[in-house]
Structure 1
Amino acid sequence: MAHDREARITPSTTADVVEAVGPRLRALRGRRDVTLAALAAETGISVSTLSRLESGQRKPTLELLLPLARAYQVPLDDLVGAPPTGDPRVHLKPERHGDRIVVPLTRRTGGVRSFKQLIPPGPANTDRTLRTHEGYEWLYVLSGRLRLLLGDRDLDLGPGEVVEFDTHTPHWVGNTTDEVTEVLCLYGPQGERAHVRSRPVPRTAER
C-alpha cells in the first residue's frame, strides 16, 4: 500500500513564503483596482498597516490576512501562496469568534477538542465580565501574555505557562497587552480532563 509523504517546510522556505506575501497582496490589489483607503474601510485595517504589509515592513499575521482574504474573496491559502504541508486532505479553517480568531485542530464533535486561539490586544477597560458554562479547559500560552480572572484570582500567564480549570468557576480570559496572544486550548464540554503523566511509573521488580 502506498503511503503519503509529508512535505517539509525548511526555514528558508518559510521565509520565502512570508517575504512573498507583500508583493502578492500589492499585485492582487492592483488587479482589483482597489485603493488602500477603500481596502482599509472594508477590512478595518489602517492604511499605514496595509501599506507596510504590502512593502514587507509589516509581518503578515492571521489577524491581518483573514479580513483581506474575505475582502478579495479568495481562500487564505491562495492569498499566502504557501506550499502544501502534511496530508493535503486536511485543511484547517480559521473562524472568527467576536474579536478572536479560532483555528479548530480537531474535527471530532464530542469529547476533548483542541483549538488555537489568537487574542488581539485589548484596552485596559475592556469588558471583564466573569462567566460560567459546562466543561473543563486547559490553556497553554504559545506567545504573548494571557490574562485570566478565575473566581477571586487574577493570573498573568506568559509563554510556556499552562493553566487548567473547571469552567463552572466564574472566569474571564483575555489579553490586555499591546501584542497578539497565541494560546493552545483543550476543551472538554462535559468536563473531561487531560491526563498528564510527568514521568513513567516504575515497574515493580520481578522476584
Structure 2
Amino acid sequence: MTQEVTMDTVIRQRLKGLRLAKGWSLDALAARCYLSASTLSRIETGHRRIALDQLVPLAKALGTTLDQLVEPTADEDVVIRPEPEHQPGITTWLLSREHSHDGRAVAKMRITPERSLENRELSVHPGREWFTVLTGTVSLLLGERTILVHEGQAAEFSTMVPHRIGAHRGPVEILTIFDREGERAHLPGSHATALEQ
C-alpha cells in the first residue's frame, strides 16, 4: 500500500510539474484534456484518486506518454556505471542508457593520435552531432576543412558533411551527444560499424 501511495504522489507531482513547465493554468490544461479545472486541481492536490482513463488524455495533452508518467523512481534508474569500450586509438564510455526515450546517446571518448593513423575514412550519416572538448585539442575534419577545437570549446555540425574526429598532437577527451543515426554510426555495439568517424 505504501508503494501505491508513493507512486500516486509521484504521478501527481509529474502532472503538476509538466503543466507548470508549459506555463499553463488549470483552465488551459482542462481545455486540452476535456476534464474540468476543479477535477484537475483535486487530482494535483491528492483530493481525488487518479483513474487510468484520466491519465491517458492528460499524458497526451502534456506531450508525454503514460509510461513516462508512471515509470518507477528507484535509484537504479538514476546511476549509470559506464564500462569502457576499447578500440585502436579510442576508448568510449556510454554515459546514457541504451534505447533512451529521446533517441539521443551521450558518451565520453578518449582519442589518441594513433586513431588518425589507423582510420582515415570520413563518415557520413543523417543527423547532427555535438561535442565539447574536456582535455587536449580535437582535429575535426569536416568536408575539405580541418578545424581545431581546443579544450573548453564545443562544436556542432551536420553529419551529412563527411567528417572525422581525431586527436591533435596528443590525447584528447571529449563529451559528445549523438542523435539516433549518429549512435548507430559511431558507438560500439550499435547496428553500424563502430566509430567510423
The TM-score with structure 1 as length reference comes to 0.45
Choose between structure 1 and 2: higher helix proportion. 2
**TM-score with structure 2 setting the length:** 0.47
Larger Rg: 2
